[in-house]
Structure 1
Amino acid sequence: MGWNSWDAYGLTITESQFRDNVEILAKTLKPFGWDYAVIDEGWFLQNPHELKSGNVIYALDANGRYVPVPERFPSATVNGRNEGFRAIGDYVHAKGLKFGIHIVRGIPREAVRRDSPVAHSRFRAKEVADITDPCPGIPRIGAFAIPLQARPGMTRS
């Protein structure tokens, strides 16, 4: 069992809010079997309150992968570089809990729009995304599937 940020914060959770909840989880619920602390969807949105307008700004790395927004998750930035949730994960684990994040399947639509390079390959996002198979749910944040069958010339690793 565990605690998930969605029920209290929706898309807007910040690092300090998450850490405060982890403290309570570790002290009061862990003895009863609650051992997961999860940051739900939206941690990669710079302006989550703009979702309905469609003007959200995504935090993506150079390869089109979601990264935590540094203004909301300051520990993600180490020496000027976004290191993801390493520090938060270490913090949660030090409390004897397990850490999780919510992420939609596939490749971010924004990565396809930007035609980001795909890490460790010679391909770009537009070449690997199946834009006929959008992830349902929150369409403005959603992703596109990555085909199970490799396209001609693609190699999987």
Structure 2
Amino acid sequence: NELIQVSFSASPNTLIETEETRINFEFSLDQPPPEDGLRVFVDSDLSQSLTQFDLTELSYTGGESFPTGDFDFTGFAFTITAQTATISIPIFDDSSLPPEQSEEGAIPVTYRLLTRNTIDSQDLAEVEGSQSISEYLIDSSLNSSTIIFADSPESIV
């Protein structure tokens, strides 16, 4: 059996709290997934970056269940059950919090699809509780996206 190649991207590349922008993580497989799904892992370069999203408003298509966050909420695992899958989440508007907790300005975060052998062991232990990360190939040209998290349009310089 030839390994499935996964393409990954995220859009739009700027999320603005005051506009409640939604991010779309998009996955595309070069062939249909196995019957029990293809479990993939996406990591980011910012600790707790997933807390920047309003996870209560998360929706997904082409997947089996809610994505599983890793140890420090930097990345997540997701089981893909269709040839294309999308996770859609709005940015969390924290403007009701005190300024020292809510004013981050503009923060770039890169999300990257990883193969099982490149995932941090602590993260792997956290996300493999119910199902192991699958073996797959990564599309070398579509495997990461850098997103800017901004408080407001004025935060973007």
TM-score, normalised on structure 2?
A: 0.26
Name the structure with the higher helix share: 1
Larger radius of gyration: 1
Q: Which has the higher contact order (CA 8 A, sep 6+)?
A: 2
Name the structure with the higher strand share.
2
